[in-house]
Amino acid sequence: MEQNNTWIQTLSLTPPTLQDNTADADRLAGELSRILTGQVQPHLVKTELHLLRRLPDLLRKWEYHVRCVLFRDHDHWVLTGITHAEDARPVTGLAIDLGTTRVVLRLVELSSGQALGESSFDNPQITVAPDILARIHHTDTEGGLAELSDLIIHGLNEQIASLCKSCDIIPDDIYLLSLAGNTAMTHLFMGLNPRWIIREPYIPVVNTPGLVKADELGIRVNPLARMLIFPNVGSYFGGDLIAGILFSGMNTAEETAILVDVGTNAEVVLGNKNWLIACAGAAGPALEGGVTRMGMMAGPGAIDKVIIDPKTRHFDIHTIGDVQPKGICGSGLIDLAAHLFLSGMVDIRGRLLPSACDGCLKQKDGVWHLVVIPAAASATGEDLTISQIDLDSLIRSKAAMYTILETIASSVGMALSELSTFYVAGTFGSFINPISAISIGMIPDLPLTAYQSLGNSSLGGATLALTSADCMEEISSIRDRITYLELNVNQEFMNRFSAAKFLPHTTPSLFPSVRVRG
Amino acid sequence: MEQNNTWIQTLSLTPPTLQDNTADADRLAGELSRILTGQVQPHLVKTELHLLRRLPDLLRKWEYHVRCVLFRDHDHWVLTGITHAEDARPVTGLAIDLGTTRVVLRLVELSSGQALGESSFDNPQITVAPDILARIHHTDTEGGLAELSDLIIHGLNEQIASLCKSCDIIPDDIYLLSLAGNTAMTHLFMGLNPRWIIREPYIPVVNTPGLVKADELGIRVNPLARMLIFPNVGSYFGGDLIAGILFSGMNTAEETAILVDVGTNAEVVLGNKNWLIACAGAAGPALEGGVTRMGMMAGPGAIDKVIIDPKTRHFDIHTIGDVQPKGICGSGLIDLAAHLFLSGMVDIRGRLLPSACDGCLKQKDGVWHLVVIPAAASATGEDLTISQIDLDSLIRSKAAMYTILETIASSVGMALSELSTFYVAGTFGSFINPISAISIGMIPDLPLTAYQSLGNSSLGGATLALTSADCMEEISSIRDRITYLELNVNQEFMNRFSAAKFLPHTTPSLFPSVRVRG
């Protein structure tokens, strides 16, 4: 078996003799420390009581030829598992992306780094409260914190059991875990009181939880297993983003890149190997498709792509699963807005132009609605429409996003055009069409090659922590290097925001590639 | 309250603000690390989940004014307790001397270092097997290890509860513990398999257990409490001796000293601040009073002092508790042998001289017995006698002891006369009369001021670990510096032993102070 991962060490100890009577645990820890650091320093490798009690029998049974699983906790290592060197059972780790809405698990074979399987489930806390704020408020009720904590722990345990089953292993084969989530979800998972996260001055219980025994958390895997809980920078910049930065690699690059994760908030990180600056702001709901009447999460029947022929104004619509449309998701909405603008059906303020929309406009309660899909063609049996109010909301969101990007860049004296790479994280990033997002001025007018979609970067970062031992230091270093920029909604911000409320912008020279052909 | 002990830190944290939003745990750990190391390094102070869950409420209730209890584990600290800075409840630690026969506890108020109380009890494992070897063999039986482990854990828990009660505290007030015992007793206490301690090549499970959660060991004190388990050098040089060395201070002295602990084995350490050399050998049983027919442990009715007038040969006898004699303990036996020799009642080979013993000798099965206490004066109603066989045995023991001392000194090219200090540990050391021990040539003929009795040095060292944070490094350093000298019973050893079988020695010039007046 190839040994790529330094969390796994296969070694043959020199058996004890009268001349070399070092104890079993110290013999093992000494040799491990020598391999890991070049020096025999047994105190750097911790062996817990539970393992000490079995160690002498195991070492003798295996004739001192062993495979060890280690995990690093700052200046020392913890021995989280030991097997015979030639044991055929896989040694695995589990990466967890703990989302507010969705939780994703990835099981990894540790010595090869290969993913054995993946599964996901709705965060069961949704049954108690849909969003972060409501969940935190729920912890103020009697037993509320325990209830939310138990829900996610039990949910994870069930999911782990079934993922293991489908991969033909048992939970005892899991020796390392990593978990990346936002600060609030991480707190609820650990049973920590999140009360002060949402109250000024917005203080988490802990920034750097480090390694915790899975057993102590109630997670049913190998009893020796440790879980790395990704650190946060504060209440509004969580471990999921640290994991995302790690996954992007921007933290080790010479050139300055930006990473954008769009959820309920837009979270933005700008930086390179020398510095990292981060901020977050409300920009998301409209972009996620959450605020329009026809909006929906990405899923079967959601319109995810729209093209409007600028001459014929014919709508070319694509839905997820190629079924009858029943709503529109974020990427579809951005496509739609971009093409309405490019084909001249809305003006630079985003106003629907009756003269250009032919028979597609209907007025309802004094507000213009554009019929995207007529009732006859929709899955709901009703017109799927987008209203002027929806468009206004989308424009505020895209303006907020662009303003945040401009603000963070200008805080370090950069123009957005200087960016080498623009990472987009999350499912939003996977589906959005950058040309459309540029067309409405939501993101800067960079060469298309600059845009990189990271997919589930939180899960990706969590996986790296399991498969590459070097990441451990990098995670701490990312956290410690990040400067969090408080977005002050001052006059300058408002000026930028106002300028960004046009399509694509009041300064068209910022978007040279955008040409309205209507 | 005076703050002598760096395990206790009283501090006022700067409360969080919008500009300083460090999390609660990191804020506390950062400030503690600053106090302890001069630098803000929150990862150096570990706060476990159980405490994290209560921390935000506690910090706010106490307005960030707290008293913290810490314990050091090599390169980091563990937060084992937190109270309001002005809390009146005492913060205490418990030192344990885990003897094969007797277990001694000392409760210490941590900030002052003052002992609150002490108690002791028989090691309850005695009910299963009297000595180390028998206990280790008992672990080969089904459930034997668990039985022995449970006995001592339950015994300690009961004793802790009653000691706390008598000191008007509760077990929850105990935040730090330290335990010093021989390697086998420490293994049984931790539930570690001691099987290979007594089988060639004599390998313990662990040399350096470090800090262990008291809770994980089953010890009922504060759930956050940690126990320092003194390290061992090998199967035959345990944590009790490391504690003894620490307590003596020989490890930091310029001049070379020797430390002797006489139990079943004689354990000897020679050294100074630069080097330490140790060995152990069978020398004890006769000295402990364990092998003579009238021998007994020190206790009421035991003859502990004997003086024989060299002219009148009148016996002046003292017993513990000033009651009728029922036996003789180690110190009494050494006195007796010394005075028999000094008064000319035995010759330089230790043979009873009928001509000099007047009517005190009786022959039984062809062996001379000296009546020390006639039946009429003894508590048993029978003569208390010492036989030629008993004397021969004592002389072999004293010769073994002296030979061990000579061997260890000569291993570093020293003569015993060069020693600045001769520490004698244990109850044996507390009661022995050095003049008598010198007279029979058991210990070297040093000025009386060189002899220092340490009392229970194992408990003393364990106490130091609780009251002086500097000791932590010193304990590791002592362990790592000790060279263990294997006593090879070769021709040179046998020559020394033969020479030492005389009273005081075949070379009387080694004992210039000893003058036979008989």
Give B130-146 pLDDT, tens digit per residue.
999 999 999 999 999 99
Q: What residues have CB less than 8 Å from A360, skipping those under 6 apart? A: A370, A371
Residue A292 pLDDT class (50, 70, 90 cuts):
low
Please check the confidence at residue B236 and state whether its pLDDT lies above 90: no
Best residue in B45, B190, B192, B213 for a mutation probing chain A (most A CBs within 10 Å): B192
Residue A331 has a pLDDT of 87
Please check the confidence at residue B518 and state whether its pLDDT lies above 60: no
Is B23–A76 a contact, with Cβ atoms under 8 angstroms apart? no
Residue B4 pLDDT class (50, 70, 90 cuts):
low
Closest by CA to A289, choosing from A314, A326, A259, is: A326
Q: What residues have CB less than 8 Å from B350, skipping those under 6 apart? A: B337, B341, B391, B392, B394, B395, B501, B503
Range name among A41-45, A264-268, A457-461 with the lowest pLDDT average:
A264-268
Chain A environment of B209 (Cβ under 8 Å): 52
d(CA B499, CA B495): 6
Please check the confidence at residue A282 and state whether its pLDDT lies above 80: no
For chain A, how many residues are written? 518
Please check the confidence at residue A2 and state whether its pLDDT lies above 50: no
Chain B environment of A21 (Cβ under 8 Å): 201-203, 234-235
Residue B291 pLDDT class (50, 70, 90 cuts):
low
Range name among A363-367, A412-416, B428-432 with the lowest pLDDT average:
B428-432
Chain A environment of B232 (Cβ under 8 Å): 23
Please check the confidence at residue A1 and state whether its pLDDT lies above 60: no
- State yes or no: cis peptide before A201, omega within 30 of 0: yes
Residue in chain B nearest A485 by alpha carbon: B19
Closest by CA to B96, choosing from B207, B218, B239, is: B239
Task: Please state the rounded mean pLDDT for residues B442-455.
Answer: 95
CB atoms near residue A363 (< 10 Å): 11
Residue B84 has a pLDDT of 97
The residue behind tokens 């807005």 is A337
Containing B261, the helix (H) or strand (E) segment is strand B257-262
User: What is the tally of helices (H) and strands (E) in chain A?
Assistant: 16, 22
- On whether the CB atoms of residues A249 and A478 are closer than 8 A, the answer is no
Burial bucket for residue B49 (CB in 10 Å: 0-12, 13-18, 19+): middle
Three-state helix/strand/coil letters over B382-450:
CCEEEEHHHHHHHHHHHHHHHHHHHHHHHHCCCCHHHCCEEEEEHHHHHHCCHHHHHHCCCCCCCCHHH
Please check the confidence at residue B3 and state whether its pLDDT lies above 50: no
Residue type, B63: E
Percent of chain B with pLDDT over 70: 97
Q: Does A203 touch chain B (CB under 8 A)?
A: yes
Give the CA-trace dihedral at A59, A61, A62, A68, to 10 degrees.
-40
Task: Please state the rounded mean pLDDT for residues B457-462.
Answer: 97
Chain B environment of A209 (Cβ under 8 Å): 52
For chain B, how many residues are written? 518
Q: How far is B191 from chain A (nearest CA, A)?
A: 7
d(CA B343, CA B445): 19
Burial bucket for residue B314 (CB in 10 Å: 0-12, 13-18, 19+): exposed
Range name among A204-213, A433-442, B4-13 with the lowest pLDDT average:
B4-13
Is B52–A190 a contact, with Cβ atoms under 8 angstroms apart? yes
d(CA A117, CA A109): 10
Task: Please state the rounded mean pLDDT for residues B505-516.
Answer: 92
Q: Does B24 touch chain A (CB under 8 A)?
A: yes
Residue A4 has a pLDDT of 52
Chain A environment of B204 (Cβ under 8 Å): 23-24
Tell me which residues of chain A, numbers 249 to 288, contact chain B at a CB-CB cutoff of 8 Å.
none
Q: Does B217 touch chain A (CB under 8 A)?
A: yes
Q: Does B13 touch chain A (CB under 8 A)?
A: no
Task: Please state the rounded mean pLDDT for residues B149-173.
Answer: 98
Q: Does A244 touch chain B (CB under 8 A)?
A: no
Closest by CA to A286, choosing from A143, A401, A178, is: A401
Residue A429 pLDDT class (50, 70, 90 cuts):
confident
Radius of gyration of chain A (CA): 26
d(CA B54, CA B51): 5
Q: For the segment B62-118, what is each residue's pLDDT rounded down to a tens digit?
A: 999 999 999 999 999 999 999 999 999 999 999 999 999 999 999 999 999 999 999
d(CA B160, CA B178): 13
Residue A36 has a pLDDT of 94
Residue A486 has a pLDDT of 81
Q: How far is A193 from chain B (nearest CA, A)?
A: 7
The β-bridge relationship of strands B327-328 and B302-308 is parallel
Task: Give A91's DSSP letter.
Answer: P
Is A206–B52 a contact, with Cβ atoms under 8 angstroms apart? yes
Which residue of B16, B76, B191 is in closest CB contact with A203?
B16
- On whether the CB atoms of residues A68 and A46 are closer than 8 A, the answer is no
Is A202–B47 a contact, with Cβ atoms under 8 angstroms apart? no
Chain A environment of B17 (Cβ under 8 Å): 201
Containing A464, the helix (H) or strand (E) segment is helix A457-467
Tell me which residues of chain B, numbers 443 to 482, contact chain A at a CB-CB cutoff of 8 Å.
476
Residue A17 has a pLDDT of 95
User: Hey, what are A140's tokens?
Assistant: 């103020």
Residue in chain B nearest A476 by alpha carbon: B43
Q: What residues have CB less than 8 Å from B263, skipping those under 6 apart? A: B100, B284, B288, B426, B428
Residue B283 pLDDT class (50, 70, 90 cuts):
low
φ and ψ at residue A109, rounded to 5 degrees: -80, 120
Best residue in A41, A82, A206, A217 for a mutation probing chain B (most B CBs within 10 Å): A206
Q: How far is B206 from chain A (nearest CA, A)?
A: 5
Percent of chain B with pLDDT over 90: 83
Is B208–A43 a contact, with Cβ atoms under 8 angstroms apart? yes
Range name among A55-64, B169-178, B307-316, B428-437 with the lowest pLDDT average:
B428-437
Containing A227, the helix (H) or strand (E) segment is strand A226-229
d(CA B351, CA A413): 100
Which residue of A49, A75, A204 is in closest CB contact with B23?
A204
The β-bridge relationship of strands A102-109 and A76-84 is unpaired
Q: Is the ipTM of this complex over 0.95?
A: no
Task: Please state the rounded mean pLDDT for residues B255-276.
Answer: 91
- A-B Cβ pairs (cutoff 8 Å, strict): 140
Please check the confidence at residue A290 and state whether its pLDDT lies above 60: no
Task: Give A103's DSSP letter.
Answer: E
Which residue of B57, B60, B208 is in closest CB contact with A26?
B208
Please check the confidence at residue A323 and state whether its pLDDT lies above 60: yes
Residue A337 has a pLDDT of 95
Please check the confidence at residue A286 and state whether its pLDDT lies above 60: no
Please check the confidence at residue A97 and state whether its pLDDT lies above 80: yes
Closest by CA to B168, choosing from B112, B109, B111, is: B109
Average pLDDT over chain A, rounded to whole? Answer: 93
User: Hey, what are B170's tokens?
Assistant: 């509760």
Residue type, B462: A
Chain A environment of B234 (Cβ under 8 Å): 21, 23
Residue in chain B nearest A27 by alpha carbon: B206
Percent of chain A with pLDDT over 90: 83
pTM here is 0.92
Is A42–B203 a contact, with Cβ atoms under 8 angstroms apart? no
Task: Please state the rounded mean pLDDT for residues A218-223.
Answer: 98
Residue B98 has a pLDDT of 98
Residue A272 has a pLDDT of 97
Task: Please state the rounded mean pLDDT for residues A228-248.
Answer: 95
Is B23–A486 a contact, with Cβ atoms under 8 angstroms apart? no
The β-bridge relationship of strands B8-12 and B65-73 is antiparallel
Chain A environment of B191 (Cβ under 8 Å): 49, 53
Give the CA-trace dihedral at A451, A457, A461, A464, to 10 degrees.
-80
Residue B1 has a pLDDT of 37
Task: Please state the rounded mean pLDDT for residues B302-322.
Answer: 93
Q: Does A22 touch chain B (CB under 8 A)?
A: yes
Containing B315, the helix (H) or strand (E) segment is strand B315-319
CB atoms near residue A483 (< 10 Å): 14
Q: What residues have CB less than 8 Å from B170, skipping those under 6 apart? A: B164
Q: How far is B294 from chain A (nearest CA, A)?
A: 39
Q: How far is B467 from chain A (nearest CA, A)?
A: 23
Residue A432 has a pLDDT of 87
